[in-house]
Amino acid sequence: MSFKKQIPNALTLLNLFCGCCAVIFAVHNHFIVAAMFVFGGIFFDFFDGFAARKLKVSSELGLQLDSLADMVTSGLVPGIVMCKLLSLTIDKPETPVEESVWNAFFSGEAIMPSLWPVMGFLITLSSAYRLAKFNIDDEQQNYFKGLPTPANALLILSLPLILELQHSELMNSIILNKGFLIALTIVSTILLNAPIVLFALKFKEWGFKANATRYIFLLLCVVLLIVLQFAAIPLIILLYVAMSMLDVVIKGEY
């Protein structure tokens, strides 16, 4: 078996490794570390496909392995994070985060008084369905149908990062609102499988004319991240969807 053929698969397995680590840290409320591992996993997820194309070693095995890794890093982890965030909305105000009812449930010390947190796993289920559809769809080579799971994972993981690192009372009150989290969960599950065409950040050539939308999008992402930090990520996802829909209107089709 050629060593060159295994390079993309090795990168995919690193994505899976990052996802496994992120699961452990997310379960124990270490959201910053979990997010860092998810970012690492998404990095490897991008470059495994890039390596496969450049080395001309794309394979059916690689496609299946990629989706299995994404299921953990970009499917299970955001589901856990949303469960944790929803659990915070049913805690008593005086209860420390470390002693939340959700943690008590996991430790067997108490029965969870609400099933709302489990709703977060709708994101995981929708991610699995989206990845399965992607594996049997031969059309999604230059574009995506529905929001890619890594983009959705970034959207969900941005919430605890905003809470822990930006210290904005306004943003905190919005994020820790049960109605907001439930609405975001529903929107997330819909976007993952919505019949909308979104451009892929794959460059077949580097010319501006052929990649104008991609270059403008990346430039706006940099500006938003500099100005708004992690709070920019939800806006970037909205921008991604809006620019993709506008691109379809202008070009007619991909």
The 10s digit of each residue's pLDDT in 153-202 is 999 999 999 999 998 999 999 999 999 999 999 999 999 999 999 998 87
Region 62-72: mean pLDDT is: 93
Q: Are 66 and 12 in contact (CB under 8 A)?
A: yes
For each of the domains in the chain, give its residue range(s) and CATH number, in order of start: 3-196 (1.20.120)
Residue 211 has pLDDT above 50, yes or no: yes
Residue 93 has pLDDT above 50, yes or no: no
Give the integer Cα–Cα distance in Å for 111 and 184.
Answer: 26
Record the pTM. Answer: 0.86
Residue 95 has pLDDT above 70, yes or no: no
Long-range contacts of range 43-46, CB-CB < 8 Å, 24 or more positions apart? 44/11, 44/12, 44/14, 44/15, 44/18, 45/12, 45/15, 45/69, 45/70, 45/73, 45/74, 45/150, 46/150, 46/201
Residue 99 has pLDDT above 60, yes or no: no
The 10s digit of each residue's pLDDT in 129-138 is 999 998 888 7
Q: What share of the chain is helix, strand, coil (3-state, %, to 5)?
A: 75, 0, 20
Q: Identify the weakest region by mean pLDDT among 99-113, 137-151, 199-213.
A: 99-113
